[in-house]
Structure 1
């Protein structure tokens, strides 16, 4: 395994790390490893294009055409 040295960390962050580690019953180093692992092992988010490609092909284009409403506001909740 590799080592990681982080310099110039704000004292308040170090204290928060110590408190979080104590709350979880582990060392600051173990808590730091856990935080890094959670942050970096998240599943990759899909792009907007990838999400669109997963949508099923339903309906015809005409089903989604705008209806000419002559400028009147639709009464949706009546």
Structure 2
């Protein structure tokens, strides 16, 4: 885990964070972690896999179409040739 130092935080902001932490029953440090986590990883963020699954349901893919989309080519990749 990384450490972060925040300099020049106003007294008002620090007081508000302390009050918010107390309301949530956690330390000021834990509250700051929660605020930062919520800011960069919001719960309502779009998740690509879920979005694609929803699209598949919306267009009502058949079992055959679904199998074709999820099938993987397991053959070994051929190396590129750069000779001309």
TM-score scaled by length of structure 2? 0.50
1:4 corresponds in structure 2 to: 4
Structure 1 runs (4+) deviating above 6 angstroms are none
RMSD: 1.4
Task: Write out aligned runs for 1:48-67 (5 A).
Answer: none
Structure 1 residue 22: Cα displacement: 0.4
For structure 2, list consecutive stretches of 5 or more residues without a partner in the other structure: 47-54, 56-84
Say which one has the larger Rg: 1
TM-score scaled by length of structure 1? 0.54
Structure 1 residue 3: Cα displacement: 0.2
For structure 1, list consecutive stretches of 5 or more residues without a partner in the other structure: 45-53, 55-78
Q: How many residues align?
A: 45
Structure 1 residue 21: Cα displacement: 0.3
Higher helix content, 1 or 2: 2
